Amino acid sequence: WHVISVDESEAKRSPRAPFTTSTLQQAASTRLGFSPSRTMGIAQKLYEAGHITYMRTDSPNLAKEAQAALVAVATSEFGEKYVEAREYKSKSKNAQEAHEAVRPTNPHKASCGNNEEQKKLYALIRARALASQMADAKTLRTKITANVSGATIPDFVADGSRVTFDGWLAADPDARGEDVELPTVAPLDKLDLVEAHTEGKETQPPGRYSEAGLVKELESRGIGRPSTYASIIRTLETRGYVEKQGRT
């Protein structure tokens, strides 16, 4: 086995906006495995203790003072070249934007909360808020083509990316897992086959909703408000309208 060709093109990954209620519930569900109602319960405790801003909001905006504080923290933690002040607007048509985004009240505090769950959620909120004021991550979209000597079989291809400048990913490293990262190789490099297996595939119907997916769907269809997503999903479960298996 050897590398036949490596095609690379430059690409950028921009940071996401600071959390709104729905994006917080989605991220906590996918990354931490928290249900929307549990996320809101933990966020309520953090809010009551004064660690985060109000957690029921549909606005990704930040107050000017908050933005300045986040920029200052990002500069001191990662350096000037990592910082880029940004403003965000809501994409939802019926957003009321009465409160600003969910963010730490004092971003200088790296950890807050009375228990492990609160600390995890606070870390997630702080990482997203910091990342929102940081520079794009630079990546190389990479396609590696490989084959055996004599090429009696079709080429094998690996698609992924290589990070050349981590930018906002330095503040939110868990977001790196969303992309397949490939190693640096050159044409004619020898490769070792570790294992090969075949898999039968059938066209599947669309997947079931996870709680994160359901919150996203409610928001995109304009159903409910930030304060009602968690209770809608809790009601669906408690009344037996849906059955929860694993995360779906």
246: left (phi over 0), alpha (psi -120 to 50) or beta: left
HSE value, Cβ hemisphere, 13 Å, CA-based, for 171: 34
**Helix, strand, or coil (residue 80):** helix
**Helix, strand, or coil (residue 243):** coil
- As a whole number of angstroms, the distance between CA 41 and CA 78 comes to 32
Token pair 């304009």 in the structure block, residue: 222
Contact between residue 25 and residue 176 where contact means Cβ atoms under 8 Å apart: no
DSSP state of 135: P
- Helix segments in 49-115, DSSP class H: 64-78
The amino acid at 17: A
**Cα–Cα nearest to 72, from 129, 121, 29, 124:** 129
- Strands 137-147 and 156-165 come out as antiparallel
Task: Give the other-Cβ count within 10 Å of 180's Cβ.
Answer: 10
Contact between residue 52 and residue 46 where contact means Cβ atoms under 8 Å apart: yes
- As a whole number of angstroms, the distance between CA 228 and CA 58 comes to 12
Catalytic residue (choose from 47, 54, 88, 209)? 54
54 a catalytic residue = yes
Known catalytic residues? 54
